[in-house]
Structure 1
Amino acid sequence: MVHLITGYAGHGHVTAADDALYHSGVCGTGKYVMRTGTMFAASVESSNEITIGSGDLVNQGRHINIPTNATEKATINNGTQGKTRKDVIAIRYKQDASTGVESAELIVLQGTSVNTGQEPARPALKSGNLYEGDTIDDFPLYEVTLNNLNITAVTKLFVLMPTLSGMFDLIYPVGAIYMSAISVNPANLFGGTWEEIQGKFLLARDGSHAAGTTGGSENVTLTTEQIPAHSHTGGAHTHTGPSHTHTINSHGHSASCSTNGEHSHNVDRNKNAASGTARYAAQAASAKTTHGTTKNGSHAHSITIGGSGTLTSNAAGTGNTGSGGTVATSNTGGGQAHSNMPPYLAVYVWKRTK
């Protein structure tokens, strides 16, 4: 059967359970203090009393409050000299199992004292799941620390629920970044003051890059120090010459030598005859005569070779030189800047400044 919860029906039909489910849907299923009244502000009146101001809370959908301009007193038992202790101020929800009647009250749960210098434990709370039928649950408000006889600290234990407008301040506090594919200024969506960031990527900060700093370049020209170490080598190779001929133009040769070669010959003759068995007779000046030939033989030589036609060698085939050693190439490249951009999707980026 469908029920109209908030409409007029002519009779009572809205239950506490209906209201609790509605609050759970709006506020969440946990435990929250709303931003109303004094938000349960605590004021230490003495070593035995703390005043809790007005406020509203939601505990698993149950709405509990201390009315505006009203207060509640939380009584703290005396501390002990030389001891330390932690108490808890809480609001306890209860449901009578037989009647179903629900109630809430401010309570103080007392902890166990330990010697000064030790860390006391917080007292145990009642923790029930009201959605599953539990009938008791504690909502802690404050932890109260006592040293010796005095209250030395009152620590808040609850979470403040933001208003709908204040929720945007939690999601996007000052300094937050907002990104979108549409051009709407986030000030129109969430309030506050925003500045648009253009032409920059986001970098997660680390020890070398503090949050808020900028840097980098869209285009980069590599320096010599940035180019990877390398070399260019030409391996052993040969050079091939195409088929070709050699030509000698028409020409002649002539040569001559000077006149020379004139000479004569002299012959000595001994007139004495040898006697007996002697082969030669003794030479005497008076017996010697000399006869010579007439000088002659002077001459010269001249040679002339007539000019011939053009001489052409036969065409030679291709030829290869011997294998050479390694060579170094000359410089190349234009030294221009190159894009330093990874694949990207351009979006609108805003930073909240106020």
Structure 2
Amino acid sequence: MINKCFEFKDYNHKRSEPNYTTVADFYRYCDNQNNVLKSLANCLLWQPSTDYTVGQIVRAPGMPAGHIAKCTTAGTSSEEEPKWTEGVVTDGTVKWSVYDPESATDDKITTASSKKLDKIGGAITGPISYDGSPKTDIELVNKAYVLAAIKAAVSAVTKTLSDNMHSQYPVGSYIYSDKADNPANYLPYMSDTVWEQTAAGRVLIGAGTADSGTVYKAGDKGGEEAHKLTVDELAAHSHTFEDAPILFSNINPADTSCIKPNTEGTCAVDTRATTSSGGNSPHENRMPYLAVYIWNRVA
């Protein structure tokens, strides 16, 4: 019996959401997907080391185009897939009749089961058989319908895998790599996404409020590779200046200020500059770094 295939959207809830998907939920979803695929394989695809009964129909990519194989002698299939050719093929202890159902006639193929499956639904509970031309519009007896069922199953699985990848790398995701390849070119099921190389020469920091109280908003840019200090940014300091000694007789007794020798009256002050030092160049302002390619998904 084929189980109902679970919907991925019901098992894709983040931890921040109500009724988020637990590990047990995800295991249950994976088990369901495996059971559905296993049921599909058992009904339609050849399998190694498997018991087959007379009348069962299988398909395999290695068969001639448009051909199917019908079990004519019950037994167990080989561990390795046989070489499929039109006619009788021996596979372990199983014998298959390999043919093109489009050109087959009633006298060449015996009916494996009188049961039919209709095109409007219903569970596949037994082997799919071919017994010539359809008797009614709802009988499942043609290759096209079986191939459509396989295609639909493959499409469903592909969509599930694609949804998983898109959920893992949503718009706004960043990927770090030492290769310049665009992630859309090598991530499976992500060829429809758009990525931009970004943040050249920059490091990424977390958005929010830092311990210092500084608020960083997502998308803000700041910092500089090299920085020239301003006067306000210099550490507080002083300079020592030595001048010639002043004789006691050169001090004005009225206000104890100094006066030049042989001069009376207002004291004259000498202003002198110290010799400048330093190259006035910006200093290195970067932490030790390793350059990699950073890609941001934008669509």
- What TM-score comes out, normalization by structure 1 length? 0.30
Task: Write 1 or 2 for the structure with the bigger share of helix.
Answer: 2
- What TM-score comes out, normalization by structure 2 length? 0.35
Question: Bigger relative contact order, structure 1 or 2, given CA contacts below 8 A and separation 6+?
Answer: 1
> Rg bigger for which structure?
1
Task: Write 1 or 2 for the structure with the bigger share of strand.
Answer: 1
